[in-house]
């Protein structure tokens, strides 16, 4: 990290700051959702915004996700820049029709006349002991919808930078917030916060020569931990944080895999029909002659998200990642 | 002390006082659909407005007939007709001011044209050369919306945004009887009432959702009654009485403009044609029913009123018919020309800037098109 830490901040605080700065910079930015006003959101990400900017700028809506996103579409049609909060990953599903049938395609349908600059913030993923319907990784659905950007931060600085860039984007962005990282602290300088632009650039979080772990969001810290642990096995792992699933940064990912010759994709989402399949295919298509082994996937199982007392068996952890790294046909090297 | 005595002595704390949040009576629709034509109220109607409505209705009927004919000639992929519903379509457009917004469903091409959108651009969706053929901002008409009722929350959001900005804008959103069963109908009405958004919801109850009659759609006393549950007024109007629809919608628009919040208007009408040219209405309804409605035809109702009162003569009828024919001939001629297509448009407006992935696919299609062009014989087209 190049910035000097004034004081450690949490990802939730960085997101709040991003919203506040965006609202201060542009009166068209409106925050809306369930409990985002008086309460400040169930994760407190919108804390203080209603007080500072008024309830017309940070609005507690009726409890209806299709209505929230549907009215945000109308507001965007009139020139506003709505930032919608879906309270939890699985609570966003009622808004699917608005997202797929309107948000993602209004620009295209109208030949560019009616872009919809809407940011849809969705806390996602598991690992917080949430009961049923509070821990889904729904990114594959959004990735499969043309017209949406799908962005997810893994660090405090990126949480700020990517959210600012998402709100500034003239295209709709599904902004997935790894909820188990909300309270993660990081050396971030809130005096000099910077947007991460453009959306669509992956970043190498850790350089290594043996193999590449391709990951994003909540799985980034797990991969960093796995990379540290792998040193004991003699592996020097590179970790690529995608930051953006759409657009996908083929260039950064492939440059890394060409260097290392081996890759494992790591995410919480299930593997069948999940993001890993697409990523593995893209890497294979582009880096085939550099690969020493098939691209492997370490993912959540293809089961409905487990109850909290069983979730540790589901989530990709350090051991499962290292097992996969061990299966990258090292014996063929000698 | 026995248990019963103990119970007798127990005095529970009374719950906090409850009272209804408003008197529901003023929100209730009238028992009968509101009518003007053929009633005493007709005398108060503006003759100029009635003549204008008549001309637009005749043109609208002709537009429906011409568009349906174009489907048979293969010039349109499909056309959902509003024959019999012209009064609603025309009035919805005429009650709006220039700065207002119209949110049509896929069946409301006629309202879109009556609002001023180019008749060919309004048919682009149904011709199939693009989705929305017009710039929504030019006449403040949202794209024709196919997923049922999903345009209603857009109308609410737009009206809400305009009000937040202090602009004098009303949104009028159109939906059918079938659409009222969708969740988005409910959510839109609820948001509109909570936000007191300047919106008018026009439900054209034309009797059928493709083949399903209203009795299988709802158990409500009327669709207008649904308004009461959201805390907004519900109005019931004869949807084939152009003067009545115009008056009721005008009142609702004025109410919204003055800060009174949303209104739900149910217009009772009938879809005389099948759902689309691809539908066979004889499978779900009898001729007798259709004939009953033909006898309550919106154009005839208005024509009778105008001629009885000496506001329209045979020459006037003929002039309206001629105008409609001129419009139809122009439409026919323009629709008989092949639209210009550019396959590369597939990629142009998906994002503000194409993603790297789309750029690759763009290059692929360009190469395919070039290969196709090379394969074509000199000067000829290869199909």
Cβ atoms within 10 Å of B11's Cβ, excluding its own: 6
- Tell me the residue range of the domain where A135 lies: 9-186
User: B78 to chain A, minimum CA–CA distance in Å?
Assistant: 18
Residues of A in contact with B142 (CB under 8 A): 77
Assign residue B116 a region (left: φ > 0; alpha: ψ between -120 and 50; beta: otherwise). left
**Same-domain check for residues A207 and A283:** yes
Cβ atoms within 10 Å of A55's Cβ, excluding its own: 12
Q: Inspect the interface and report whether the beta carbons of A78 and B165 lie closer than 8 Å.
A: yes
What CATH number corresponds to the domain at position A49?
3.40.50.970
**Same-domain check for residues B231 and B354:** no
3-class DSSP state for residue A300?
Answer: strand
Would you state the pLDDT for residue B379? 55
**Same-domain check for residues A107 and A164:** yes
- The first and second tokens of residue A86, run together, are 């879906």
**Same-domain check for residues A55 and A178:** yes
**Same-domain check for residues B278 and B351:** no
Band of pLDDT at residue B14, cut at 50, 70 and 90:
confident
**Same-domain check for residues A50 and A147:** yes
- Give which of A266, A1, A315 is closest to A155, Cα–Cα: A1
pTM of the model: 0.95
User: B131 to chain A, minimum CA–CA distance in Å?
Assistant: 5
In a domain, B151, yes or no: yes
**Same-domain check for residues A255 and A220:** yes
**Same-domain check for residues A18 and A141:** yes
- Give which of B235, B223, B141, B215 is closest to B186, Cα–Cα: B223
Please check whether residue B153 touches A, CB under 8 A: yes
Q: What is the mean pLDDT of residues B264-271?
A: 97
Question: Looking at chain B, which runs of residues are DSSP E strands?
Answer: 101-103, 171-176, 199-205, 208-209, 212-213, 234-238, 263-268
- Give which of B174, B36, B163 is closest to B95, Cα–Cα: B174
User: A210 to chain B, minimum CA–CA distance in Å?
Assistant: 28
Q: Inspect the interface and report whether the beta carbons of B350 and A146 lie closer than 8 Å.
A: yes
Q: B88-128 pLDDT, tens per residue?
A: 999 999 999 999 999 999 999 999 999 999 999 999 999 99
Q: What is the mean pLDDT of residues A45-69?
A: 98
Q: Inspect the interface and report whether the beta carbons of A74 and B154 lie closer than 8 Å.
A: yes
Residues of A in contact with B147 (CB under 8 A): 97, 101-102
Would you state the pLDDT for residue B383? 44
Please check whether residue B165 touches A, CB under 8 A: yes
User: B145 to chain A, minimum CA–CA distance in Å?
Assistant: 9
Among residues A129, A155, A186, the one where a domain terminates is A186
Residues of B in contact with A249 (CB under 8 A): 356
Q: Inspect the interface and report whether the beta carbons of A66 and B183 lie closer than 8 Å.
A: yes
- B112/B123 Cα distance (integer angstroms): 10
In a domain, A4, yes or no: no
Q: Specify the range with the lowest mean pLDDT, choosing from A185-194, B50-59, B284-293, B304-313.
A: A185-194
**Same-domain check for residues A175 and A212:** no
Which of A77, A150, A285 to probe by mutation at the B interface, max B CB count within 10 Å?
Answer: A77
- A94/A84 Cα distance (integer angstroms): 14
**Same-domain check for residues B228 and B353:** no
Could you give the angle at which helices B314-335 and B47-72 cross, rounded to 10 degrees? 40
Would you state the pLDDT for residue B84? 96
Q: B172-189 pLDDT, tens per residue?
A: 999 999 999 999 999 999
List Cα–Cα distances, B251 to B55, B95, B105, B233, in angstroms: 22, 9, 22, 12
Q: Inspect the interface and report whether the beta carbons of A75 and B160 lie closer than 8 Å.
A: yes
Please check whether residue B347 touches A, CB under 8 A: no
- B305/B313 Cα distance (integer angstroms): 11
Q: A171-182 pLDDT, tens per residue?
A: 999 999 999 999
CA angle A187/A192/A193 to nearest 5° reads: 75
**Same-domain check for residues A163 and A212:** no
- Tell me the residue range of the domain where B361 lies: 345-375
Terminal Cα distance for chain B, rounded: 100
**Same-domain check for residues A177 and A225:** no
Which of B149, B160, B230, B231 to probe by mutation at the A interface, max A CB count within 10 Å?
Answer: B160
- A148/A292 Cα distance (integer angstroms): 34
Please check whether residue B124 touches A, CB under 8 A: no
Would you state the pLDDT for residue A193? 80
In a domain, B102, yes or no: yes
- The first and second tokens of residue B171, run together, are 């949104």
Assign residue A263 a region (left: φ > 0; alpha: ψ between -120 and 50; beta: otherwise). beta
Residues comprising chain B, all counted: 383
B284 contact partners, CB below 8 Å, separation of at least 6: B208, B211, B212, B213
**Chain A CA closest to residue B161:** A75
Q: What is the number of structural domains in chain A? A: 2
In a domain, B33, yes or no: yes
Band of pLDDT at residue A187, cut at 50, 70 and 90:
confident
Please check whether residue B157 touches A, CB under 8 A: yes
**Chain B CA closest to residue A29:** B161
Using CB atoms, which residue from B143, B153, B352 is nearest to A170?
B352
Please check whether residue B130 touches A, CB under 8 A: yes
Which residues of B are designated catalytic? 271, 275, 284
Q: What is the number of structural domains in chain B? A: 2
User: A178 to chain B, minimum CA–CA distance in Å?
Assistant: 24
**Same-domain check for residues B327 and B357:** no
Is it the case that residue B4 has pLDDT exceeding 70? no
Mean pLDDT of chain A: 95
**Same-domain check for residues B88 and B233:** yes
A11 contact partners, CB below 8 Å, separation of at least 6: A153, A155, A156, A159, A177, A178, A181, A182, A183, A184, A186
**Same-domain check for residues A181 and A269:** no
The more confidently predicted of residues A185 and A226 is A226
What CATH number corresponds to the domain at position A212?
3.40.50.920
Please check whether residue B362 touches A, CB under 8 A: no
Q: Which ipTM score applies to this complex?
A: 0.95
Would you state the pLDDT for residue B2? 65
Using CB atoms, which residue from A64, A74, A107 is nearest to B158?
A74
Would you state the pLDDT for residue B68? 96
Would you state the pLDDT for residue A3? 46
Using CB atoms, which residue from A62, A113, A200 is nearest to B355?
A200
Cβ atoms within 10 Å of B90's Cβ, excluding its own: 28
Using CB atoms, which residue from B159, B187, B352 is nearest to A67?
B187
**Same-domain check for residues A70 and A217:** no
Among residues A186, A212, A229, the one where a domain terminates is A186
- A30/B242 Cα distance (integer angstroms): 40
Q: Inspect the interface and report whether the beta carbons of B153 and A74 lie closer than 8 Å.
A: yes
Would you state the pLDDT for residue B7? 62
The more confidently predicted of residues B322 and A189 is B322
**Same-domain check for residues B145 and B42:** yes
Residues of A in contact with B121 (CB under 8 A): none
User: A78 to chain B, minimum CA–CA distance in Å?
Assistant: 6
List Cα–Cα distances, A94 to A63, A246, B366, in angstroms: 11, 22, 38
- A33/A84 Cα distance (integer angstroms): 6
**Same-domain check for residues B32 and B136:** yes
Is it the case that residue B380 has pLDDT exceeding 60? no
Q: Inspect the interface and report whether the beta carbons of B352 and A64 lie closer than 8 Å.
A: no
In a domain, A333, yes or no: no
Contact between B205 and B268 under an 8 Å Cβ cutoff? The reply is: yes
User: B11 to chain A, minimum CA–CA distance in Å?
Assistant: 36
Using CB atoms, which residue from A62, A73, A200 is nearest to B157?
A73
Please check whether residue B132 touches A, CB under 8 A: yes
Which residues 167-186 on chain B approach chain A with CB closer than 8 angstroms?
171, 183-184
- B118/B292 Cα distance (integer angstroms): 34
Among residues A151, A186, A221, the one where a domain terminates is A186
Using CB atoms, which residue from A80, A97, A170 is nearest to B150?
A97
What CATH number corresponds to the domain at position B173?
3.40.50.970
- B258/A124 Cα distance (integer angstroms): 43
In a domain, A193, yes or no: no
In a domain, B20, yes or no: no
- Give which of A186, A28, A6, A208 is closest to A116, Cα–Cα: A28
Is it the case that residue A320 has pLDDT exceeding 70? yes
Would you state the pLDDT for residue B5? 61
**Same-domain check for residues B329 and B197:** yes
Q: Which residues pair with B213 in a beta bridge?
A: B208
**Chain A CA closest to residue B160:** A75
Contact between B205 and B266 under an 8 Å Cβ cutoff? The reply is: yes
Q: B139-169 pLDDT, tens per residue?
A: 999 999 999 999 999 999 999 999 999 999 9
Q: Which residues pair with A84 in a beta bridge?
A: A32, A120
In a domain, A194, yes or no: no
CB pairs under 8 A between A and B: 136
In a domain, A63, yes or no: yes
Contact between B131 and A109 under an 8 Å Cβ cutoff? The reply is: yes
Please check whether residue B357 touches A, CB under 8 A: yes
**Same-domain check for residues B221 and B131:** yes
In a domain, A75, yes or no: yes
Q: Inspect the interface and report whether the beta carbons of B155 and A74 lie closer than 8 Å.
A: yes
Is it the case that residue A323 has pLDDT exceeding 60? yes
- Give which of A282, A289, A245 is closest to A267, Cα–Cα: A245
Would you state the pLDDT for residue A96? 97
- The first and second tokens of residue A78, run together, are 């009139």
Dihedral angle sign, alpha carbons of residues B140, B146, B152, B153: negative
Mean pLDDT of chain B: 94
**Chain A CA closest to residue B359:** A247
Residues of A in contact with B159 (CB under 8 A): 74
Cβ atoms within 10 Å of B154's Cβ, excluding its own: 30
Which residues of A are designated catalytic? 134
Q: B184-225 pLDDT, tens per residue?
A: 999 999 999 999 999 999 999 999 999 999 999 999 999 999
In a domain, B9, yes or no: no
Residue written as token pair 């391709």: A214
- Give which of A197, A330, A322, A196 is closest to A262, Cα–Cα: A330
**Same-domain check for residues A230 and A172:** no
Looking at residue B34, what DSSP letter applies? B
């Amino acid at each position: 990290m190049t910035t000097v830490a004034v004081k450690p901040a949490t990802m939730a605080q960085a997101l709040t700051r991003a919203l506040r700065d965006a609202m201060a910079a542009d009166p068209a930015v409106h925050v809306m959702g369930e409990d985002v006003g008086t309460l400040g959101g169930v994760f407190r990400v919108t804390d203080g915004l209603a007080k500072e900017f008024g309830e017309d700028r940070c609005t507690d809506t009726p409890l209806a996700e299709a209505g929230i996103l549907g009215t945000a579409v109308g507001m965007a049609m009139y020139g506003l820049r709505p930032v919608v909060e879906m309270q939890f990953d699985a609570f966003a599903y009622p808004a699917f029709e608005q997202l797929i049938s309107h948000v993602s395609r209004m620009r295209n349908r109208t030949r560019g006349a009616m872009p919809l600059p809407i940011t849809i913030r969705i806390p996602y993923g598991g690992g917080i002991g949430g009961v049923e319907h509070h821990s889904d990784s729904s990114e594959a659905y959004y990735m499969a919808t043309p017209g949406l950007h799908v962005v997810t931060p893994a660090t405090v600085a990126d949480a700020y930078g990517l959210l600012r860039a998402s709100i500034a984007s003239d295209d709709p962005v599904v902004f997935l917030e790894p909820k188990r990282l909300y309270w993660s602290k990081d050396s971030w300088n809130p005096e000099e916060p910077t947007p991460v632009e453009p959306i669509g650039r992956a970043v190498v979080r850790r350089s290594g020569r043996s193999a590449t772990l391709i990951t994003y969001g909540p799985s980034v810290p797990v991969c960093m931990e796995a990379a540290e642990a792998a040193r004991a096995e003699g592996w020097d792992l590179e970790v690529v944080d995608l930051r953006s699933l759409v657009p996908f940064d083929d260039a950064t990912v492939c440059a890394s895999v060409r260097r290392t010759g081996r890759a494992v994709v790591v995410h919480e989402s299930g593997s069948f029909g999940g993001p890993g399949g697409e990523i593995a295919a893209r890497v294979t298509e582009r880096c085939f002659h550099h690969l020493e082994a098939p691209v492997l996937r370490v993912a959540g199982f293809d089961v409905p998200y487990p109850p909290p007392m069983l979730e540790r068996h589901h989530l990709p952890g350090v051991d499962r990642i290292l097992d996969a790294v061990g299966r990258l046909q090292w014996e063929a090297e000698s | 002390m026995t248990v019963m005595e103990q119970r007798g002595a127990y005095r529970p704390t009374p719950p906090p006082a409850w009272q209804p949040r408003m008197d529901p009576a003023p929100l209730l629709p009238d028992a009968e659909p509101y009518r003007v034509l053929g009633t005493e109220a007709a005398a108060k109607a503006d003759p100029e407005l009635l003549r204008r409505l008549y001309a637009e209705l005749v043109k609208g009927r002709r537009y429906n007939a011409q568009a349906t004919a174009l489907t048979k000639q293969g010039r349109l992929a499909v056309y959902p007709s509003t024959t019999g519903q012209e009064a609603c379509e025309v009035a919805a457009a005429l009650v709006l001011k220039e700065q207002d917004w119209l949110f049509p469903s896929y069946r409301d091409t006629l309202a879109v044209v009556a609002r001023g959108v180019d008749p060919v651009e309004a048919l682009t969706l149904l011709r199939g050369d693009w989705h929305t053929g017009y710039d929504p901002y030019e006449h403040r008409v949202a794209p024709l919306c196919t997923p049922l009722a999903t345009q209603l929350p857009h109308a609410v959001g737009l009206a809400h945004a305009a009000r937040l900005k202090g602009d004098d804008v009303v949104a009028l959103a159109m939906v059918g009887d079938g659409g009222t069963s969708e969740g988005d109908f409910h959510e839109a009405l609820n948001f509109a009432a909570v936000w007191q958004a300047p919106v008018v919801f026009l439900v054209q109850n034309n009797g059928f959702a493709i083949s399903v009659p209203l009795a299988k759609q709802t158990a409500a006393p009327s669709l207008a009654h649904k308004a009461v549950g959201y805390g907004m007024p519900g109005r019931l109007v004869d949807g084939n009485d152009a003067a009545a629809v115009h008056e009721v919608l005008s009142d609702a628009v004025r109410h919204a403009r003055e800060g009174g919040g949303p209104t739900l208007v149910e217009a009772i009408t009938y879809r005389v044609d099948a759902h689309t040219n691809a539908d066979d209405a004889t499978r779900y309804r009898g001729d007798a029913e259709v004939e009953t409605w033909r006898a309550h035809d919106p154009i005839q109702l208005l024509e009778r009123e105008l001629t009885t009162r000496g506001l329209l003569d045979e020459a006037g009828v003929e002039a309206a018919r001629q105008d409609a024919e001129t419009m139809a001939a122009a439409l026919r001629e323009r629709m008989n020309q092949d639209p210009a297509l550019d396959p590369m448009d597939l990629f142009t407006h998906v994002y503000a800037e194409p993603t790297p992935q789309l750029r690759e696919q763009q290059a692929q299609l360009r190469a395919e098109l070039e290969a196709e062009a090379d394969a074509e014989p000199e000067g000829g087209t290869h199909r």
